[in-house]
Structure 1
C-alpha cells in the first residue's frame, strides 16, 4: 500500500521529507557522495542549455571532473594524511578560487570539498569526506570502460547506503555529459509535489500565531501591505536562490552558495546566522508551550515551571534518532493547520463580542500609534524563514526547472493561511489581542471546552516535535567544536567504540544546549518580541538580503539594468526595515506603545 503511486507514493513522500528534515545545518556538513546507480555517464546534452544552465565549464572540464572524482573516491585516504596534507591540498585546489577568474575557468565546488573550504575550527575535526568503499553492503560493481578516470565504480544502493551512513543521508551524484564534456552533478530525488510539501513544512511555523497582533499594531492598510510585500519579496528571493544554484550544478546547500559568492568568511557568517535563527525559533517554541499551558491551567504551575517541564521533555526527545524525529515533525505542521481551523470555528461558534466573528471587534485602518509599525514588520517577516534550506530542497528535485512552480504554490498556500489567521484574529479581538492568538482563546471560557483542550494538545505537540529537530544542528555544531562528533564508520574505524568520556561529553552537550534555550526563554519571556527579532533581524538577512546579494554577485555581468536597480532598491529598503525593526525589539514596550 505504501508504494501505490510510484514516485509520488506515501513511502516516497516519507523518504523525501526525511531528507528535507536533515537539510537544516549550522556548520558546513561534509556530505558523503555516492555515485548514482547508472554505470554510464548520463547524456544530458539534449535538454541542458549551456547558457541557461550556467555551467561555465571549458575544455579543461575533463581534468576538473577527474579531480572531482578523485575527491569523491579518496576521502578516507586524504583524511588519514592529517591536517598538513589537507592544508597543502587546499592551497593547491583553491589556487584558482571560485571567486577568481572568469566564470568559464572557475572550479567546481567538488574541486574544493566542503571540509577544505570550512574554517579552521571546523575543518580541524576528522570528519570523513567521500564515498564509503570498505564497508560491505549491497552494491552492483561495474567497470565503466569509457570513463575518463579508468576506475572501478562501486554503484551503491541508496537504501543500503542510507543505513550505512547512519543519520546523514549520502548525496547521490551522477556523471552528466554536457556536449563533449563530462561533469559530476547532484542527482535530485524528489518530485514537484514532494518539493512543495517539503517547502510548506519548512515555511509554516508558529510565527503566524502573532500575525493578528501585527495587524493590530499596523492597521488594516499598512498591515495588508507589509504582509503582501514580505510574501512577494521572499517568494522572489526564493526563485533567485534557484537561479543561483544553476550557477554551479555542484552547489548543494545555502552555505555552499555563500562560499561560492563571497568566500569562506561568508560561510562563517551564514553559520552564525543559522545558529541565531535556530536558537530564536526554539526559544519561541518554549515560550509558546509555557504561555499556553499556564493560561489553560492557571494556578497549577507558573510559566517558568512549564518552561522547565518543556526543557526536560525536549532533553529526552533529543535522544531519538533523526529518522524518527523527521516523521514526527509532520505532526507539528498538522497541529499548526488544525489550530488555525479551531480559531475560525471558535469565532463562528461564539455569537457575541469579544472573540466572535459575528460581532467583530473595533479595528483601525491605520496604526493607532506609528511607533509600533517596526515591530509589526518583524512579526510579519517571521513566517517566511525557510530560505536556509531552499537550496537543498532545490538540489533534491528531480526536475529543478519546476522550482518556480514549487515556490509559487508554496507561497500562495502560506500567504492564504497567514492572511486568513491574521484577519480572523484581529476581527475577533481587535485591540485586545495578545502576543499569540491562542492566548486569547485559552483564557476565555465561552468557547467549547473540547475544542480548547484539543487546541492545547496541538500547542503542546508543536514544540515537542519541532524543538528537537531544530536543536539537532546546534548539538551537532557543539559536538564538532568539542571534537566528539560521531563520524561515519570507515573500514577498521567501524569497530571502534567511543569511550565513556566521549559519551559523557555528548550527554553534557545536549544538557547544556537545552539549558541555554531554557535560560534565554526565561530572560526574554515575550513571545512577540522573540518573533519580531527573528523576523526583523534574521529572516530579513537570510531570506531577503543575502539571496539578493548572492544573485548580484554571481550574475553581475548578465542581469539587466532594470533588474539591478530593483535588486538594489530592495536591498536598501529591507536593510533599513530590518535594522529599525531589530532595534525596536529591544526597546521597552511602553516606549514603542506595543
Structure 2
C-alpha cells in the first residue's frame, strides 16, 4: 500500500499503513497529543549542530589512541568506515521519523516498526548503554584522580581502599546533582562538552609538541588480534543515535537536519582521528586505556587536560542517568510524583553504578563492551532494521537494500567478535 500524501511520508511502499500499524500509529498520536506543537521545533541550525557535537564528542576521545594501538595504523580505516555507517544510520532515523508525525523518541521508532516488542528492545539497549556509560564516568574519575594523587589512601572497613575509595568520593559528589528535579542548569553545564573535548585535544597536542614528549613512536601497521578491541572502542565514539530524534524534533527547519549530521560527523571524526594519531605517535604501544594516564604530571598542559577530563563527566552523569530514573519511576505510577520515592530511586541507581565500577574497574574493556554490544546495536543495527520494516524497502533487492544489508552484516560481525573479546578481557582481569 502507498502512504497518503497528507501524512507527509515520502518513503516507498511503507508498511506503516496496514491495519495493525495504522492502529499503532493512531495510538502513538493520541498518547503524545500534548506534544503536537513540538513538531514545529524552535532550535536554529547552529544550536542543533552544537547539541549534536556535544552528544557525539564524549569521553570516547580519550580511548581512541588505545584503540589505534590495539589494532595498528590500518585500523584507522575501520574508524572511518564506522563513522560512515553511523552517519548513514542517522539519516535512516530521520527518514523513520518522517514516516509519521507522532514519532518523538527512539523507542517510538522501535514500536512503529515492530510493535511493543520493538519498543522494549530499543528501550533496553538505550538504558543499559546509558547505565554503563555512567559507570564508565566513575571509573574514569577514579583512574585520573588516582593518577593525580597516588599517595592518597583511604580504608573503609577493610574492603575498599586506594582508587576504589576515590570512586566512592566521586559518587558522593555527584549524588546531589542526581537528586535535582530540574536539570536545566546541568544541561547548560554539559553543553561545555564540545569545548572540553577541544581543550583536551589542544592540551595533548601542546604536551607532545612543546613539553618534551614528542611524536617519535612508529607503532604497528596492523595487529589482527587487537582489531576487535579497536573496532569496539571506535563504535563507542558514535553512540549518540538515541539523541537524534530529540534533535530532529527540536530543529526549526527539518530539511536542514541532514546537513547537521554531515557537519557533526565530520568534525567529531576529525577530532577522534587526530587524538588517536597524536596519542599513538606520542606513546606507541605503551598508551593506556585513557591517554590522560600517560601524560607527565609536571607539565601545565597535562594538568589542564586531566582537570578538564575530571570536570566533564561530573556535569554529564546526572543527564545520562535521568532517563533511567524516569523509566524506573514510571514502573510505580502511584509513587511517581512523590519526592522521597524519587530520591530513593536516584540514590539506588548511583549505588548500583558504584558497585559495577568497583567490580569491573577497567575503563577500556568496559567501554569496548559497550561499543561492541550496545553502541553497534543501538546506533547501527536497530536503525537499519527499523527503516527496512517501516519503509518496506526489504521487499525489493535494490541498491539501498544491499547497502543496508551490508551495514547490518558488518554491525553483527563487530557485535559478535567485539563482545566476545571484551568479555574475555574483563573476565581475564577479574
TM-score, normalised with respect to structure 2: 0.90
| Alignment pair present for 1:348 and 2:209 | yes
| Alignment pair present for 1:583 and 2:411 | no
1:292–1:438 contact (8 Å) kept in structure 2: yes
Report which of the two has the higher share of helix.
2
Q: Name the counterpart of 1:22.
A: none
Q: Name the counterpart of 1:423.
A: 277
1:242 to 84, 94, 99: 94
Deviations 1:456-502 (A, max 9, x none): 32122112101011111111122222335555xxxxxxxxxxxxxx4
Aligned residue runs from structure 1 range 146-545, under 5 A:
172=37, 186-221=39-74, 223-301=75-153, 302-320=162-180, 321-351=182-212, 355-357=213-215, 360-367=216-223, 370-441=224-295, 444-445=296-297, 447-448=298-299, 450-483=300-333, 486=336, 502-545=338-381
Q: CA deviation at 1:556?
A: 2.0
Deviations 1:239-277 (A, max 9, x none): 111111111122111111111111111101111111111
TM-score, normalised with respect to structure 1: 0.66
2:94–2:248 contact (8 Å) kept in structure 1: yes
Q: CA deviation at 1:52?
A: 10
Distance 1:309 1:335 in 2: 23
**Per the alignment, do residues 235 and 192 of structure 1 end up closer, same or farther by CA in structure 2, a change over 3 Å counting?**
same
2:109–2:386 contact (8 Å) kept in structure 1: yes
**Per the alignment, do residues 590 and 464 of structure 1 end up closer, same or farther by CA in structure 2, a change over 3 Å counting?**
closer
1:100 to 4, 15, 18: 18
**Per the alignment, do residues 589 and 385 of structure 1 end up closer, same or farther by CA in structure 2, a change over 3 Å counting?**
closer
**Per the alignment, do residues 430 and 331 of structure 1 end up closer, same or farther by CA in structure 2, a change over 3 Å counting?**
same
Q: CA deviation at 1:337?
A: 2.0
Q: CA deviation at 1:51?
A: 9.6
**Match of 1:587, SS?**
helix
Distance 1:399 1:102 in 2: 31
Distance 2:82 2:267 in 1: 14
**Per the alignment, do residues 589 and 310 of structure 1 end up closer, same or farther by CA in structure 2, a change over 3 Å counting?**
closer
Distance 1:464 1:544 in 2: 28
Distance 2:164 2:232 in 1: 25
**Per the alignment, do residues 366 and 462 of structure 1 end up closer, same or farther by CA in structure 2, a change over 3 Å counting?**
same
Distance 2:401 2:16 in 1: 23
1:568 to 397, 401, 405: 405
2:16–2:390 contact (8 Å) kept in structure 1: no
Distance 1:293 1:203 in 2: 25
Distance 1:201 1:394 in 2: 15
Q: Name the counterpart of 2:27.
A: 112
Q: CA deviation at 1:324?
A: 1.1
1:211–1:380 contact (8 Å) kept in structure 2: yes
Structure showing greater Rg: 1
2:204–2:301 contact (8 Å) kept in structure 1: no
Q: Which aligned segments of 4 or more residues in structure 1 are displaced greater than 6 angstroms?
A: 589-592
Larger relative contact order (Cα-Cα within 8 Å, sequence gap ≥ 6): 2
Q: What is the aligned residue count?
A: 413
**Match of 1:384, SS?**
coil
Q: CA deviation at 1:237?
A: 0.7
Distance 2:23 2:356 in 1: 43
2:24–2:115 contact (8 Å) kept in structure 1: no
**Per the alignment, do residues 205 and 403 of structure 1 end up closer, same or farther by CA in structure 2, a change over 3 Å counting?**
same
Distance 2:374 2:289 in 1: 20
Q: CA deviation at 1:319?
A: 2.7
| RMSD of equivalent CA atoms | 2.5
Q: CA deviation at 1:171?
A: 5.3
**Per the alignment, do residues 455 and 277 of structure 1 end up closer, same or farther by CA in structure 2, a change over 3 Å counting?**
same
Gaps of 5+ in 1: 1-48, 57-96, 117-128, 132-169, 174-185, 488-501
Distance 2:98 2:396 in 1: 15
Distance 2:412 2:218 in 1: 33
